[in-house]
Structure 1
Amino acid sequence: MDADEVIELLGLEPLPGEGGQWAQTWRDEHSTAIYFLLQPDDFSALHRLAGVELWHHYAGAAVDMLLLGPGGSVSRPRLGDDLAGGERPIVAVEPGTWMAAETTGDWSLVGTTMAPRYEEADFELGDRIVLSAAYPEAAADIARLTREDAADG
């Protein structure tokens, strides 16, 4: 399969602002879940949420994540199925943590779940200048994983 086939089969659509292709698979009063596909020419731009978000790897290449913690921590987990190589099939992102993701190959199909559920008002896109000043050791990654028009969120 290629990315276009996955997009068609799952009914994925472009996700404005953040990037990637997505479709909501579940929403009730307690939780939400989505499919999310990344390709080499796109990425999940740095953003943060008010609740915990669990990222799950489903198919395709591994995903490199950048996590910028509220206390100044920087981590770079890899979401995937090569357990012996250090990849993990689930990565939990704590509330208030800036997160970004990019595929390591031709395409990656992941999913995210949230409980309590995702609410648009709890989503914030990262500002390249502000984040680079707060996390100087990750400035090159921040420049690559933000969009120039994200300042107005």
Structure 2
Amino acid sequence: MPSPDDFTAHLGLQPLPVEGGRWAQSWRDETASAIYYLLAPPETSAPHRLDRLEIYAHHAGAPVRMLLLFPDGRVSRPVLGPDVAAGQRPQVVVPAGVWQASVSTGEWSLVGTVVVPPYTDDSVEFRPAAALAAEWPDATEDLAPWLT
């Protein structure tokens, strides 16, 4: 099995400032954009939201534990991975305006995302985990990796 360094070298992954992890754009046109995204602890995907739809797909490595905080107060904790019998999903859709954060459950995880319409730097917003925990108290424990 390839290592995180193999994926970094062969896919041209670069550090992703602010959010965390490593990424490379794999495709883009006027309708959507796609990236490879690698998380290797202690890297995490910091709490953020997009003003557009994002679709995650698991490619390799450990499953990814996701946290989704919906504007109506709901909290969802999907696990992005291949073991559907255990409740994991190989694909997770994050609607526009939903706060999201994620961590690898193992040594590393490689996922891909598609953003519709295409990602732009002004389409993302970051927020401190403490502020999110105040608004979604049921998610405080889930937000622990970002509360330090």
TM-score exceeds 0.5: yes
Alpha carbons 1:44, 1:145 under 8 Å: kept: no
The two structures have a TM-score, normalised by structure 1, of 0.92
1:83 maps onto 2:84 in alignment: yes
Runs of 4+ in 1 over 3 A off after TM superposition: none
Q: In the aligned structure 2, how far is the partner of 1:102 from the partner of 1:131?
A: 17
Q: In the aligned structure 2, how far is the partner of 1:87 from the partner of 1:52?
A: 20
Q: Which runs of 5+ in 1 are unaligned?
A: 149-153
Q: In the aligned structure 2, how far is the partner of 1:134 from the partner of 1:116?
A: 28
Residue 14 of structure 1 corresponds to which residue in structure 2? 15
Look up the SS of the partner of 2:38 in the other structure: strand
Displacement after TM superposition at 1:57 (Å): 0.3
My pick for the range that moved more, 89-98 or 121-130, is 121-130
Question: Which whole-Å deviations, capped at 9, do the CAs of 1:14-49 have from their partners, x for residues lacking one?
Answer: 000000000001111111000000012110001000
Structure that is richer in helix per residue: 1
Residue 52 of structure 2 corresponds to which residue in structure 1? 51
Displacement after TM superposition at 1:114 (Å): 1.2
Look up the SS of the partner of 2:142 in the other structure: helix
Residue 142 of structure 1 corresponds to which residue in structure 2? 143
Look up the SS of the partner of 2:143 in the other structure: helix
Q: In the aligned structure 1, how far is the partner of 2:96 from the partner of 2:107?
A: 30
- After TM superposition, the structure 1 = structure 2 runs for residues 58-97 of structure 1, keeping only pairs within 5 Å, are 58-97=59-98
Look up the SS of the partner of 2:141 in the other structure: helix
Look up the SS of the partner of 2:17 in the other structure: coil
Q: In the aligned structure 2, how far is the partner of 1:145 from the partner of 1:26?
A: 30
The percent of aligned pairs where both chains have the same amino acid is 50
Question: Which whole-Å deviations, capped at 9, do the CAs of 1:67-118 have from their partners, x for residues lacking one?
Answer: 0001111110000000111111100001110001111111100000012111
Q: In the aligned structure 1, how far is the partner of 2:107 from the partner of 2:3?
A: 8
Residue 105 of structure 2 corresponds to which residue in structure 1? 104
Q: How large is the RMSD of aligned CA atoms in angstroms? A: 1.2
My pick for the range that moved more, 64-73 or 113-122, is 113-122
Q: Which runs of 5+ in 2 are unaligned?
A: none
